[in-house]
Amino acid sequence: VSWSPDGKYLASGAGGFVNEERVGELFIWDAKSGEKLKTLEGHSSYVSSVCWSPDGKYLASGSWDETLIIWAANSGEKLKTLKGHSSGVESVSWSPDGKYLASGSYDDTVIIWDANSGEILNTLKRHFSWVYSVSWSPDGKYLASGSRSLDGEYFGGDLIIWDAKSGEELKTLKGLSSCV
Overall average pLDDT of the 172-176 stretch: 71
For 116-152, how does the pLDDT look when each residue is reduced to its tens digit (9 = 90+)? 999 999 998 877 677 788 999 999 999 998 787 655 5
**Residue ranges of E strands in the chain:** 2-3, 9-18, 21-30, 36-43, 47-52, 58-63, 67-72, 78-83, 89-94, 100-105, 110-114, 120-124, 131-136, 142-149, 156-163, 169-176
For 10-50, how does the pLDDT look when each residue is reduced to its tens digit (9 = 90+)? 999 998 766 666 678 999 999 999 999 999 999 999 999 99
For 72-104, how does the pLDDT look when each residue is reduced to its tens digit (9 = 90+)? 999 999 999 999 999 999 999 999 999 999 999
